[in-house]
């Protein structure tokens, strides 16, 4: 599985220059907005989308058929993609938070409470856990191009759910009563739910790949 993961990382180097330009654009945009909190959100979103690039490369080259002639089983193909997604989200989180801090220092803007930044960025990462936890089984079932058509539906469903939760909190009049401890507890609960959701997605993808015919 290590070889499969390295293959994916080497393939993603093809879009490395484009992503450097994207990060540069986000940085400049945040300078103009004077809103560094925008940077981690866009970084996490951009990095997570690389998982589709990786699967698209495999589909275009017919790699999965070739991989099954190697000492690799079908489950390894799924595990590699989920592990790659975790690494991409982690990289997006770290780079996003680092950029957030550096931009705040450069524009000499007083930073908000660092704990709040960590929590809000973690919440963004959890949302993309849910999004790609929904999308990956569709990719394994339908292929990348057909699944891309479903991506908008997944985006709408996940963000609608998040919006509904926010509206519920607002409607109950709790937004002004949220303490740091409550924020941490809510973030921890969301993270646990996201991990369990991704685990369920992984199990579904395993079942799909076992029945798939190339």
Write out pLDDT tens, residues 70-128.
788 888 899 999 999 999 999 999 998 888 888 877 776 555 556 677 777 887 888 88
SS3 26: helix
| Nearest-angstrom CA–CA distance, 181 and 189 | 12
pTM for the full model?
0.83
| Cβ contact 44:121 at 8 Å | yes
| Nearest-angstrom CA–CA distance, 118 and 12 | 27
Write phi, then psi, for 102 (nearest 5 degrees): -65, -40
For residue 34, is pLDDT > 80? Answer: no
210 contact partners, CB below 8 Å, separation of at least 6? 74, 75
Predicted confidence band at 181 (pLDDT cuts at 50, 70, 90)? low
| Nearest-angstrom CA–CA distance, 148 and 154 | 10
> Could you tell me what percent of the chain has a pLDDT over 70?
83
| Nearest-angstrom CA–CA distance, 140 and 34 | 41
Write out pLDDT tens, residues 159-177.
677 667 666 656 665 555 5
Task: Name the CA radius of gyration of the chain, rounded.
Answer: 19
Which is more confidently placed, 117 or 205? Answer: 205
pLDDT at position 89: 92
| Cβ contact 63:4 at 8 Å | no
Give domain limits for the chain. 2-211
User: What torsion, rounded to 10 degrees, do the Cα atoms 210, 154, 121, 199 define?
Assistant: -20
| Cβ contact 44:96 at 8 Å | yes
Query: Max Cα separation, the chain?
Result: 59
């Amino acid at each position: 599985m290590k070889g499969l993961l390295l293959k994916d990382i080497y393939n993603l180097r093809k879009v490395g220059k484009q992503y450097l330009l994207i990060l540069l654009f986000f940085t400049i945009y945040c300078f103009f907005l004077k809103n560094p909190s925008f940077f981690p959100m866009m970084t996490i979103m951009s990095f997570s989308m690389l998982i589709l690039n990786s699967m698209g490369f495999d589909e275009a080259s017919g790699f999965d058929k070739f991989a099954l002639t190697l000492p690799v089983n079908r489950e390894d193909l799924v595990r590699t993609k989920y592990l790659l997604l975790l690494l991409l989200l982690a990289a997006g989180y770290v780079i996003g938070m680092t950029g957030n801090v550096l931009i705040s220092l450069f524009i000499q803007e007083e930073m908000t409470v660092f704990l709040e930044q960590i929590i809000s960025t973690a919440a963004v990462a959890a949302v993309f856990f849910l999004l790609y936890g929904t999308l990956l089984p569709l990719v394994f079932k339908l292929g990348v191009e057909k699944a891309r058509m479903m991506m908008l539906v997944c985006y709408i469903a996940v963000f609608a759910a998040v919006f509904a939760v926010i509206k519920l909190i607002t409607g109950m009049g709790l937004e002004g009563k949220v303490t740091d401890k409550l924020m941490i507890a809510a973030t921890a609960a969301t993270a646990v739910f996201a991990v369990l959701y991704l685990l369920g997605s992984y199990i579904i993808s395993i079942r799909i790949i076992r029945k798939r015919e190339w």
